[in-house]
Amino acid sequence: RDWLYVKDHASAIRRVLEAGKPGETYNVGGWNEKPNLEIVHTVCSLLNEMSPRADGKSYAEQITYVTDRAGHDRRYAIDASKIEKELGWKPAETFETGIRKTVEWYLANTDWVSHVQNGSYREWVKKQYAI
């Protein structure tokens, strides 16, 4: 998978809206192709650092391995060279800085996470957007 920090994604969309040519397609990517398991281990390491478990164990000990789903794609690659060349857009964050900011955000917004987990956020979205 190609990983991109959310604010970089938003800035790419803004750049396309500001300077993109109508009818053109622009792939947005971060040049950060990484396997899912590497992402999981990175998140576990960051959690070990930022929010250690009370029992002192590593978050990686909670990883459970499962069989891949049938037809699982081995690779999702994005070529973002067109948006870079034609619109001058590049991600501001590296994978490392972006994933760190993401984990920090989730740790700082535990109320929001709780609302997602208990279903109240989904209900709020339905009410707000009449879905």
Write out pLDDT tens, residues 83-111: 999 999 999 999 999 999 999 999 999 99
pLDDT of 18-44, one tens digit each? 999 999 999 999 999 998 899 999 999
State the sign of the Cα–Cα–Cα–Cα dihedral 17, 89, 40, 75: positive
Three-state SS for 26?
Answer: coil
Element (H, E) at 126: helix 120-129
What pLDDT, on a 0 to 100 scale, did the predictor assign at position 76?
A: 80
What pLDDT, on a 0 to 100 scale, did the predictor assign at position 127?
A: 92
Arch. (CATH architecture) of 6-129: Alpha-Beta Complex (3.90)
Instruction: Please report, for residues 4, 21, 64, the alpha-carbon distance to residue 88 in angstroms, rounded to integers and kept in the order given.
Output: 17, 13, 41
Please determine, for residue 72, whether its predicted confidence score (pLDDT) is greater than 80.
no
- Rounded to a whole number of angstroms, the distance between the first and last alpha carbons of the chain is 29
What pLDDT, on a 0 to 100 scale, did the predictor assign at position 71?
A: 79
Instruction: Quote the CA–CA distance of 3 and 15 in Å, as a whole number.
Output: 19
Question: What mean pLDDT is reported for the chain?
Answer: 95
Q: Which residues contact 24 (CB under 8 A, 6 or more apart)?
A: 86
Question: 14 vs 71, which has greater pLDDT?
Answer: 14
Residue 60 identity (one-letter amino acid): A
pTM: 0.86
